[in-house]
């Protein structure tokens, strides 16, 4: 699944979570049913997948951060070099 070459996203996470839920053989105890444990497994695995994949940063945000850092570094260097003269 993860090695299939598809982009990570909700569909892949759901497929991985479904496979995990199908792969377990939970006990069916009176307070907690096997069906509940499968649903819990599905939910936890899907959540772990979402958390494991970093969110993309938009180009606009990336450019803005880059420009801000560049300006700040330039000002700091100019002040430091100016103070040293």
Q: What is the mean pLDDT of each run of 10 residues along the chain (85 residues)?
A: 66 92 91 93 92 74 71 71 54
pLDDT in tens, 13-37: 899 999 999 999 999 988 999 999 9
Determine what percent of the chain falls in helix, strand and coil, rounding each to the nearest 5: 75, 0, 25
Tell me the domain boundaries of the chain.
Answer: 1-54, 58-85
pLDDT for residue 57: 62
Enter the pTM of the model. Answer: 0.59
CA torsion sign for 50, 54, 56, 60 is positive
């Amino acid at each position: 699944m993860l090695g299939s070459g598809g982009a990570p996203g909700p569909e892949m996470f759901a497929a991985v979570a479904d496979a995990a839920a199908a792969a377990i053989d939970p006990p069916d105890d009176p307070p907690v049913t096997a069906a509940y444990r499968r649903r819990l497994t599905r939910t936890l695995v899907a959540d772990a997948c979402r958390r494991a994949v970093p969110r993309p940063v938009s180009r606009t945000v990336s450019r803005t951060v880059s420009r801000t850092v560049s300006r700040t570094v330039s000002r700091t260097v100019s002040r430091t070099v100016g103070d040293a003269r």
